[in-house]
Amino acid sequence: MEGVIDHHMRNLLTRIGGYHHCVTEFVRITDQLFPPVAFHRICPELKYASKTKAGTPVTLQILGGDPNAMAENAQRAAELGAAAVDINFGCPSRFTNSKAGGAVLLKEPERIYKIIDAVRKAVSTELSVSAKIRLGYENTDLALENAKAVEAADASFITVHARTKVDGYHHPARWEWLGRLNDALTIPLVANGDINSVDDFLRCREMSNCEDFMLGRGAVIQPDLARQISATYAQNPTAPMEWSDVIALVIGLTDLMQTQPTIAGKKVLGRMKQWLAYLKRQYPEAGVLFGEIRQMKQLSQALVLLSQKGRSVAA
């Protein structure tokens, strides 16, 4: 998730467990072949066999509208060690869409086909090439056609975020659509949208008949959600993570970010606030803490408060 789940967050979350693989933020491809640094910036794991420190495989995501440029850059990603490439047809950002990338392409199933086909043919058959779509741009009229275009282009699997572009992130995900598309496809369909608890997962599975699921915001709202879902699968449900462990994770994220000398304290503080804002949906304590650090300008000040709170819950 752009600006939220970077390699530090992937490192932390996959250490908790439950993930079979995870996906990077997208590399936005224009009309040029990018230098290796552009890929390493988004996916430093390329230097470590495309795995997080916990050993979870990482898929590199690309976004763009030009089939040739996408193919050339996918080839480069493969040369750099990517084991899997995912193509983003879901990003709703006005900037991205104005450059003919992301969800705007859902208006053109044929172009979706051409992009995936070009990428698929440019890399080894051993490399997984997948695509992530929404149900459509303004409405769901082309949902099936787009999903079929992904399948026809020989994608390894498809992830469907069960909203349209116009739905943004607000409306409830339309899981019933996942079931419809799943019935019509032969490639695996990964269900995505509004899975924020084990109950959501169970209902989504029931409605979609899917076997694979992608977490979005739920991954940061409830940091051990994947582990809980995995345990539920194994018929050995576990209790959600305690707040004391969650606060340690937030401190852990700031520690990891600070090991990177190019990241300014202000950015680390911003990410701390951002995570607390997500966490408050699950943990009321995060809301209180967020209120206390919201106006703070200095990372050091926020860290003192966080470690005091950490100590007081642990005591």
Ligand X SMILES: Cc1cc2nc3c(=O)[nH]c(=O)nc-3n(C[C@H](O)[C@H](O)[C@H](O)COP(=O)(O)O)c2cc1C
- Residue 195 interacting with ligand X (CB under 6 A): yes
Q: Nearest distance from residue 271's CB to ligand X, in Å?
A: 12
Nearer to ligand X, 179 or 216 (CB): 216
- Residue 26 interacting with ligand X (CB under 6 A): yes
Site for ligand X in 211-250 (CB under 6 A): 216-218
Residue listed under structure tokens 């598309």: 181
Give the number of other Cβ atoms within 10 Å of residue 57's Cβ.
17
- Residue 136 interacting with ligand X (CB under 6 A): no
Q: Nearest distance from residue 311's CB to ligand X, in Å?
A: 31
Q: Nearest distance from residue 201's CB to ligand X, in Å?
A: 11
- Residue 271 interacting with ligand X (CB under 6 A): no
Nearer to ligand X, 92 or 179 (CB): 92
Nearer to ligand X, 95 or 298 (CB): 95
Distance CA 160, CA 119 (A): 19
Residue 102, Ramachandran bin (φ over 0: left; ψ between -120 and 50: alpha; else beta):
left
Mind spelling out the 3-state secondary structure of 5-48?
CCHHHHHHHHHHCCCCCEEEEEEECCCCCCCHHHHHHHCHHHHH
Nearer to ligand X, 101 or 310 (CB): 101
- 97 three-state secondary structure: helix
Instruction: Give 63's strand partners.
Output: 28
Judge whether 91 counts as a catalytic residue.
yes
Enter the DSSP assignment of 122. Answer: H
- Residue 72 interacting with ligand X (CB under 6 A): no
Residues 303-315 as b/e (b if ≥16 CB within 10 A, e otherwise) read beebeebbeeeee
Distance CA 62, CA 281 (A): 30
Q: Nearest distance from residue 216's CB to ligand X, in Å?
A: 3
Select which of 22, 43, 91, 210 is catalytic.
91
Site for ligand X in 163-192 (CB under 6 A): 169, 173, 192
Q: Nearest distance from residue 42's CB to ligand X, in Å?
A: 9
- Residue 1 interacting with ligand X (CB under 6 A): yes
Residue ranges with strand state E in 139-269: 158-164, 189-192, 212-214
Give the binding site for ligand X (CB under 6 A): 1-4, 25-26, 61, 88, 90, 132, 161, 169, 173, 192-195, 216-218
Active site residues: 91
